[in-house]
Structure 1
Amino acid sequence: MITDARPWGGAAADIRLIDGVIAEVLPPGTVPQAGETLIEGRGRILLPSFADVHVHLDSTRLGLPFREHTGVPGVWGMMLNDRANWRSAETSIAERTTETLGRMVAHGTTSVRSYAQVDVDAGLERLHGVLAAREAHRDRATVEVIAFPQAGLLREEGSFELLEEAMRQGADVVGGIDPCLLDRDPAKHLDLVFGLAERFDAPIDIHLHEPDQLAKFSAELIVERTRALGMTGRVTISHGYGLGQLPHAQLVPLLEQFAELDIAWATIAPATPLPTLLIAEHGIRLGLGEDGQRDYWSPYGNGDMLDRTWQLAFTNNFRRDEDIEHCVAVATIGGRSVLGTAPALRGHLDRPGVAVGDPADLQLITGETVTSAVMDRLPDRTVVFRGAVVADGLELSAAA
């Protein structure tokens, strides 16, 4: 039983957890049942745990000495910088991914969708590192792994065959990237990605860094294939910030098609924000992620999704409590909806995840209100996964 907690910052309650599910929401001060384990809420806010649905665990440098940024602009140039440096890190891929995933759990994340770069340079080494982290924390978090062709599928011989082998060796999701800008053959790139997904009965996640009209063209091709191949509800566009720069008259018809085909969206709260409230208005599944974490692409990212939630609110210039709370909903249940483990948010005022019948994947955080908790991001947090405490005070629990 969680005692004296405030679901979504509301009235205090005691919450009984049975078999990894919220079984009862009771008045505060309810007498515990014999043998019942108590988790002290101490008046803290009870929220669903975070879902990071766009993270590159395989490129992390969290916990390692800080290094200056040596990348150059552009996806290809940044990829080459990563390729030149990732093997010289102070620890192995498996050690780095495991350390970072543990840090994420300690800060409140128990659902993760991570990329694993698959290319002719890394082969499947980075995939195996992410799979090792998933195994190490299997009792603390659920992790989906995306086989991700960071260098494209057409520029280097053997890239597609490696992506196919990654799916055979345990990846869950087929990745794609910038069909026009990187591979310069959008029809062939998308045919390969969708064909592989069809063969392995797997969902798709496509990075889209392309600018406005190019992003619109790629998105329209993705829509066509989603409809033609019956992939409704199984496709996610990641980033897609170029779409947010489209004129309203061009964007709305595209959003309507996303809603029709249940195409999800994952964002990292970029400086060029998505139309977050418009996406909610159309009922489109939207999740949040940290992207890279102090890696060879960027010095940003620290494993704390509460920080990234603040960034989502800040880049959207949100000031009203209801809008900032919506960012928390996106970072928690919104992400789980992208993973297919929770329903889509029902508009920007929906605050689900802490009612009877919901999974007991929860977090207790400190704050007068949900908005104040996002602003202050205090360390007094308790993380629950499947009804058991897996972290407290930003430290993993040994018993997990």
Structure 2
Amino acid sequence: MISAARPLLITNVRLSDDPSGQPVSVSVAGGRIEAIGPKLANLAPPPAAIVEDGGGALLLPGFVEGHTHLDKTLWGQDWYVNEVGPNLTDRIANERAFRKTSGHDAGVQSLALSHAFLAAGTTRLRTHVDIDTDAGLRYLEGVLATRDALAEVLDMQIVAFPQSGLLIRPGTGKLLDDALAAGADVLGALDPALIDGDPVGSLDATFALAERYGKPIDIHLHEPGEIGAFTFKLLLDRVEALGMQGRVVVSHAFCLGALPEPTALLERIARLRVALLTSAPPSRPVPPLKRCRELGITIFGGNDGIRDTWTPYGAPDMLERAMLIGMRYDLRRDDDLAAAFDCVSAAGAQGCGFADYGLHAGARADLVLVDADTLAHAVVARPVRKLVVANGRIVARDGVLAE
């Protein structure tokens, strides 16, 4: 059973950035980390405290899923036979038809996948939710119900996302307005040039709506090469003109991996504090991870879709996603694998704007224990999560969600 937010003392754990391997303890109260250190185990725990022996496990912060689609998933359902065509528009049309006719329930499915994320150590999550002229706000309502149900343990941001385009489907703008009024945290957008066919008009409409509600923006930008770079520059113009520095994420950004010389664009992205999200797909160009980090660009990771009509791949395991990021970017050294983990931890929290993150006094008590020698070992081996604490509550043991 998921515990109430009682005082908690976890003893005999190791910190990944301490080469001495000296055991430490973590004290938690009111959902926050009170202290971390080697001497806490000698103190008498407060009355009614839960005391856990970590057994020498590695202590990690709760993981961050920076980009997924909870409303679409078929997680836990029968296998979906994927016969969709190869183009982005094929996938969009196929999904619209499936969701119209299958009775797919975004509330039930988003809850199932959220539970799986929690059991695997994810405590902060950003999900895009389709806002659609066929379904209206139905998918949003389902995910809002999941967010409410798990509010004490899963810090969830919802992006109102026009999966079928904004300008090309009249009425979508009004639905996005309604979605933000109903509780969506972030305004989404999609390929202003290649889907909407009007990058200036599409971006103007997106930024105007975000400005009206004071919301950040997270845009899917699949557009390749020079087309994507053109759209990116238009977006950066608006970030600068409207003072949106630090409030915009560009997801995927395939164009940055295809340009022969992206340095000038990357430097402007860094200057305007636009963050980048990558799922590190093996089949598409990806933003240059190390160069972005050198320039101070926040680049973080996410699964994108998980087991849906778009893709049979994906799993609610951010250690696996960190491993896939490592493989895609040819990260082999232990310090490089630490950068891959950063994409699903601190950088993810920074990119999404999740507050009070990390392993320090005052941070929200989101903790994961794994049996691993080092952080690199944890990323590569992806051991079962021995214990997961979310907002000071024990939510899973040995990979199984507490009931």
Scaled to the shorter chain, the TM-score interval is: over 0.9
**Distance of 1:6 and 1:364 partners within structure 2:** 9
1:273 Cα shift? 3.1
1:48 Cα shift? 1.1
Corresponding letter in the other structure for 1:70 = E
Q: Deviations over 1:20-63 (max 9, x none)?
A: 22222221643432423213321111111111111001100110
Please point out which of 3, 21, 25 is paired with 2:11. Answer: 3
Residue pairs, 1:238-253, within 5 angstroms: 238-248=251-261, 251-253=262-264
Map of 2:42 onto structure 1: 30
Residue pairs, 1:5-20, within 5 angstroms: 5-8=13-16, 10=18, 11=21, 12-20=23-31
Residue pairs, 1:47-62, within 5 angstroms: 47-62=60-75
Corresponding letter in the other structure for 2:174 = E
- Determine helix, strand or coil for the equivalent of 2:383: coil
Please point out which of 296, 305, 329 is paired with 1:283. Answer: 296
**Distance of 2:182 and 2:131 partners within structure 1:** 12
**Distance of 1:170 and 1:219 partners within structure 2:** 28
Please point out which of 375, 382, 388 is paired with 1:383. Answer: 388
1:84 Cα shift? 1.3
1:310 Cα shift? 0.8
1:109 Cα shift? 0.6
Residues 221/364 of structure 1: CA separation in 2 closer, same or farther (3 Å cut)? same
Is 2:381 the partner of 1:369? no
Corresponding letter in the other structure for 1:377 = R
Please point out which of 301, 320, 327 is paired with 1:314. Answer: 327
Please point out which of 23, 43, 55 is paired with 1:42. Answer: 55
**Distance of 1:163 and 1:262 partners within structure 2:** 25
**Distance of 2:121 and 2:102 partners within structure 1:** 27
Map of 2:220 onto structure 1: 207
**Distance of 2:104 and 2:81 partners within structure 1:** 18
**Distance of 2:136 and 2:289 partners within structure 1:** 36
1:330 Cα shift? 1.4
- Determine helix, strand or coil for the equivalent of 2:254: coil
Q: CA RMSD in A?
A: 1.6
Corresponding letter in the other structure for 1:168 = A
1:87 Cα shift? 4.1
The answer to whether the Cα contact below 8 Å between 2:368 and 2:385 also exists between their aligned partners in 1 is no
Please point out which of 261, 264, 270 is paired with 2:281. Answer: 270
- Determine helix, strand or coil for the equivalent of 1:96: helix
**Distance of 2:319 and 2:307 partners within structure 1:** 16
1:380 Cα shift? 3.7
Is 2:159 the partner of 1:159? no
**Distance of 2:104 and 2:166 partners within structure 1:** 29
Residues 380/228 of structure 1: CA separation in 2 closer, same or farther (3 Å cut)? closer
- Determine helix, strand or coil for the equivalent of 1:44: strand
Q: Bigger CA drift: 184-193 or 43-52?
A: 43-52
The answer to whether the Cα contact below 8 Å between 1:107 and 1:381 also exists between their aligned partners in 2 is no
1:91 Cα shift? 5.4
Q: What TM-score does the superposition give when structure 1 sets the normalisation length?
A: 0.93
Is 2:130 the partner of 1:122? no
- Determine helix, strand or coil for the equivalent of 2:66: strand
Map of 1:394 onto structure 2: 399
Q: Bigger CA drift: 364-373 or 25-34?
A: 25-34
**Distance of 2:44 and 2:258 partners within structure 1:** 54
**Distance of 1:105 and 1:370 partners within structure 2:** 20
The answer to whether the Cα contact below 8 Å between 1:9 and 1:46 also exists between their aligned partners in 2 is no
Q: What TM-score does the superposition give when structure 2 sets the normalisation length?
A: 0.92
1:357 Cα shift? 3.2
**Distance of 2:112 and 2:30 partners within structure 1:** 28
Is 2:269 the partner of 1:258? yes
**Distance of 2:358 and 2:385 partners within structure 1:** 21
The answer to whether the Cα contact below 8 Å between 1:70 and 1:296 also exists between their aligned partners in 2 is no
- Determine helix, strand or coil for the equivalent of 1:147: strand
Any gaps of 5 or more consecutive residues in structure 1?
A: 344-351
Stretches of 4+ aligned residues off by more than 3 angstroms: 87-91
Map of 2:240 onto structure 1: 227
